[in-house]
Structure 1
Amino acid sequence: MTLLYFIIAISVLVVIHEYGHFWVARRCGVKVLRFSVGFGNPLFSWKDKHDTEFAIAPIPLGGYVKMLDEREGPVPEHLLDQAFTQKTAWQRIAIAAAGPIANFLFAIIAYWILFVAGTTGVVPVVGEVKDSTPAAVAGLRSGDEIIAIDGEETTSWQEVSWQLVNFIGEDASFPVVVESESGAQRRVDISVSAWLSDSEAPDPIDGLGIEPRRMDIPAQIGQLSEDGRALASGLKTGDIILEVDLTPISDWYQWVEIVQAAPEQTLALLIERDDQTQVLSLTPARKELDDGEVIGFVGAGVQVPEIPADWLRTSQAGFLQALSLGVEKTWNLIGFTLESLWKMIRGDVSVKNLSGPITIAKVAGSSASGGLESFIGFLALLSVSLGVLNLLPVPMLDGGHILFYSAEMLTGKPLPEKVQIAAIKVGMFLLFSLMAVAFYNDISRL
């Protein structure tokens, strides 16, 4: 199912991106020869009344719009006015920019729908504050609800995380407004230095030293990895862990602590299944974390009980307000994406944070399992990332083409062919290097 959701996500965003190019090209009088979703020889295709071929190809990692272009071969005299190369520089800029703009418009519409329908999140109440962490030094306490961070309201843990990621890799001090269990509000100032800059997958909430308020969750097995030790040992979904090595298990957290502390050590389990007890033997696999710590891992997820209603908060906006919030959310994400890329270039954030198709597929699957709201939010986020990436002034990307055509507008003539070829080679090197790092990160996370 993860692969299916990945294909759906990529296909939707490719169609949106390429349709932006297609729509503006048609409006500028350019003849479109092919609109392909995916790469490779078409699995099937059809043509419209304008003789444009629409194709579905087998490699779902992108797509393209092929236009009539003198650079790719002779163009018949009667079609010359429909060639891309015959259009003005500003028209070519509009066609190149239309793909990323379409991605941004999709994100605005997606967030608009979400805000109108209402988004539900877990109220950000602190469960535990770890000693000697930025949160502890600032004076956050168990039971505090985080009301705002750096002047921005935070109604859920997701919003808390989004506000905190802005400070990753930075030396900063920012205000946090909290409300105690008694209802009294106060401000604390949290200071960080080169915060989480070396982390491969930074968790800003944990990085501050905060653990969200936790439910009482029984040690009941929910999901099992097909290649995990838990399934191989005979554990099944719905099993309740009663004892480990004769130690009674009170909740899921205790079970996780015992497993993580016992890599490659055999554990004797007493479980309950269908109102009967059984004894199983389980040896957690060895897993090394980013910081070098070695923990036990069995490939088992928890059976999550229903979250209490008073732990949840639903935010809903009117029609016009939701549109405004959608624009604001998309704009902030564009800024955040650009800032994150700049931090990587400066070395303030590790390039280990780059993700390729494997990680994207996993996130697509997990977001889809979280429901339609979660999946739409993921599509919007990925759409913004795709739009920003394509606008970077790198030859071979839309932003590179815009750079060439802008130079042509300024000088009154196209850049010399040798300059364009050299720039494209540099662009290819940069893109393939970026892809190689992303694939390496994906594989290292497996």
Structure 2
Amino acid sequence: MTIIFYALAIIGFLTLVFVHELGHLVFAKISKINVVRFSIGWGKPIVEKKIGETVYQIGIFPFGGFCQMAGEQIVDDAPIAEGDFYSKKPLPRLLAVSGGVLFNLLLGIVLLSFAGMLPSMNVYLPPVVYIPESLSTQPAYQAGLRSFDEILKINGKEIYSFTDLQTIISQIMGEKLTIEYKRDGQISTVTIVPNVERNTGRSVIGVYPYIKPVIDTVETNSIFKDIGLEKGDLLISVKNEKNISRNILSTADLSEFLESHLYENITFTFQKKDGTIIEKSAFVDKQFDPGLNFYVEYRKTPGLPFYKSFIMSFPKSIDTLDMFKKSLRLLFSGKVDVSQSVSGPVKLIYISSKVVQTGLKNVLEFFALLTLILGATNLLPIPATDGSYILFFLFELISRKKLNPKTISKIQTVGFFLLLALMILVFINDIITIKDLF
């Protein structure tokens, strides 16, 4: 099954590349610019077929693609032929180089529209935070939030679940938050500046969701089955042989205690459904026992009609692009570890192989995110990207001055080799990162 998931991930990734290059192809044809070669994948072609003036191929390496337009690179003093890239005025050239980005953005909207039409069954966690002593140095506690506070609004946006809280904090990317919360019936406001995790670039304020430690399921091979835990039991406390103990008010207490006391005999105190209090001991050799699940509420979210989902796809796309902009700012600020925060095709395929196992809605939303980021990345005004061409041709349109095609080609060639070197480094980093995940 793993091979199938990887195959699906590669197909999904290549679909995004295909759509991007198709955008270039379509607008090149509309602009009457000859296309020499259209390729999905790099390297020696596995399959190729010439139709008209264009060779269509699938390359052996499934990590990208290209749409080679005639005369796009000027390397000598050969005359510019009819149908060549630079035989056209700035506007047709601008359309041809913008087509890939435009198609990526359109695909993102389409994928989000279809994703919004699908119903989903999701874990619902109320917007109630839990802040154990271990998080007392984190921004939330320092600002005045405490366990069992109910979050009402963040920066004026209503918060209906802990997922809403996580989403908004992740989008803020280290910027100031104004949080309105309720405690003992009183509504108050605090201002928090999140920390930014260097390895991931995520914004964090230092809170857990409050999950009451009521048992939902216990599998046969779990140590918790051996000590008699059953559905509906309530964990009360834990202690080790040295009488170091901890009350279990939320599930985070259990995971933190077990992390600190692995490979020890732990005594678990729990209450049965009939009110009986029981103490049982077990040897703990793993922090997260896959055989134990706590009760959480599941809520079904119905799918939206297409027109509503289509309308909602626009603000979702804007939020994604805004998050990309903030991520770039963090990347160049030095606050995050570039080697951990940047992903290339190999790592993206690995992540995609995990996402394709989680359901169609998640797959559509994930690839919508990827295609929007792919489009935004290509808009960056870096030599060898679509963004640099767009910048050059916008200058020509506005100034009515034609730039020297040979100069543009030289800049793009230098940029290509620099970009190639960067891609090799990212590729190596992907391999190292993925190796550590196994």
Give the TM-score normalised by the residue count of structure 1: 0.73
Q: What is the match of residue 176 of structure 1? A: 179
Does the Cα contact within 8 Å between 1:47 and 1:54 map onto a contact in 2? yes
Q: What is the match of residue 96 of structure 2? A: 95
Cα distance in 2, alignment partners of residues 421 and 92 from structure 1: 18
Amino acid at match of 2:110: I
Does the Cα contact within 8 Å between 1:139 and 1:188 map onto a contact in 2? no
Q: What is the match of residue 402 of structure 2? A: 413
- TM-superposed CA distance for 1:61, in Å, is 0.6
Q: Does 1:15 align with 2:3?
A: no
Q: What is the match of residue 46 of structure 1? A: 49
Cα distance in 2, alignment partners of residues 81 and 348 from structure 1: 50
Does the Cα contact within 8 Å between 1:177 and 1:187 map onto a contact in 2? yes
Alignment of 1:35-114 (within 5 A): 35-48=38-51, 50-69=52-71, 71=73, 80-114=81-115
Amino acid at match of 1:152: K
Q: 1:31 to 1:202 in 2, by over 3 A?
A: closer
- TM-superposed CA distance for 1:199, in Å, is 2.3
Alignment of 1:132-151 (within 5 A): 132=136, 133-138=138-143, 140=145, 142=147, 146-151=151-156
Does the Cα contact within 8 Å between 1:122 and 1:157 map onto a contact in 2? no
Q: 1:444 to 1:33 in 2, by over 3 A?
A: closer
Q: Deviations over 1:261-306 (max 9, x none)?
A: 467x6999xxxxxxxxxxx99977xxxxxxxxxxx8xxx8735869
What secondary structure is seen at the aligned counterpart in 1 of 2:350?
helix
Cα distance in 2, alignment partners of residues 281 and 139 from structure 1: 38
Does the Cα contact within 8 Å between 1:121 and 1:155 map onto a contact in 2? no
Q: Deviations over 1:199-229 (max 9, x none)?
A: 2125545x432335367457867xxxxxxxx
What percent identity do the matched residue pairs reach?
23
Number of residue equivalences: 393
Cα distance in 2, alignment partners of residues 144 and 80 from structure 1: 70
Alignment of 1:322-333 (within 5 A): 322-333=309-320
Cα distance in 1, alignment partners of residues 257 and 207 from structure 2: 22
Q: 1:149 to 1:315 in 2, by over 3 A?
A: farther
Q: Deviations over 1:313-370 (max 9, x none)?
A: 5264443332221011111211220121022213344423222234323321222111
Does the Cα contact within 8 Å between 1:197 and 1:350 map onto a contact in 2? no
Q: What is the match of residue 351 of structure 2? A: 363
Q: What is the match of residue 271 of structure 2? A: none
Cα distance in 2, alignment partners of residues 14 and 302 from structure 1: 38
Does the Cα contact within 8 Å between 1:115 and 1:315 map onto a contact in 2? no
Q: Which of 329, 335, 338 does residue 342 from structure 1 map onto? A: 329
What secondary structure is seen at the aligned counterpart in 1 of 2:356?
helix
Alignment of 1:213-362 (within 5 A): 213=211, 216=214, 239-242=221-224, 260-261=259-260, 302=290, 310-312=297-299, 314=301, 316-351=303-338, 352-362=340-350
Cα distance in 2, alignment partners of residues 313 and 179 from structure 1: 27
Amino acid at match of 2:196: S
Amino acid at match of 2:195: L
Q: What is the match of residue 279 of structure 2? A: none
Q: Which of 421, 425, 431 does residue 436 from structure 1 map onto? A: 425
Cα distance in 1, alignment partners of residues 383 and 180 from structure 2: 45
Cα distance in 2, alignment partners of residues 60 and 267 from structure 1: 50
Q: 1:375 to 1:178 in 2, by over 3 A?
A: farther
- TM-superposed CA distance for 1:247, in Å, is 12
Q: 1:28 to 1:422 in 2, by over 3 A?
A: closer
Q: Which moved more, 1:366-375 or 1:342-351?
A: 342-351
What secondary structure is seen at the aligned counterpart in 2 of 1:97?
helix
Q: Deviations over 1:125-150 (max 9, x none)?
A: 23522342433355555555545422
Q: Deviations over 1:38-66 (max 9, x none)?
A: 11112123344x35332222211111112
Cα distance in 1, alignment partners of residues 163 and 361 from structure 2: 13
Q: What is the match of residue 167 of structure 1? A: 172
What secondary structure is seen at the aligned counterpart in 2 of 1:393?
coil
Q: Deviations over 1:241-270 (max 9, x none)?
A: 2489x999998978865774467x6999xx
Cα distance in 2, alignment partners of residues 145 and 365 from structure 1: 36
Q: 1:425 to 1:74 in 2, by over 3 A?
A: closer
Amino acid at match of 1:240: S
Q: Deviations over 1:398-441 (max 9, x none)?
A: 11121222333335222363565246425643663476257436
Q: 1:198 to 1:128 in 2, by over 3 A?
A: closer
Q: What is the match of residue 31 of structure 1? A: 34
What secondary structure is seen at the aligned counterpart in 2 of 1:43?
strand
Gaps of 5+ in 1: 222-237, 269-279, 285-295
Does the Cα contact within 8 Å between 1:124 and 1:155 map onto a contact in 2? no
Q: 1:415 to 1:68 in 2, by over 3 A?
A: closer
Gaps of 5+ in 2: 236-250, 267-281
- TM-superposed CA distance for 1:167, in Å, is 3.1
Q: 1:120 to 1:364 in 2, by over 3 A?
A: same
What secondary structure is seen at the aligned counterpart in 1 of 2:9?
helix
Q: What is the match of residue 383 of structure 2? A: 395
- TM-superposed CA distance for 1:7, in Å, is 0.4
Alignment of 1:370-385 (within 5 A): 370-385=358-373
Amino acid at match of 1:10: F
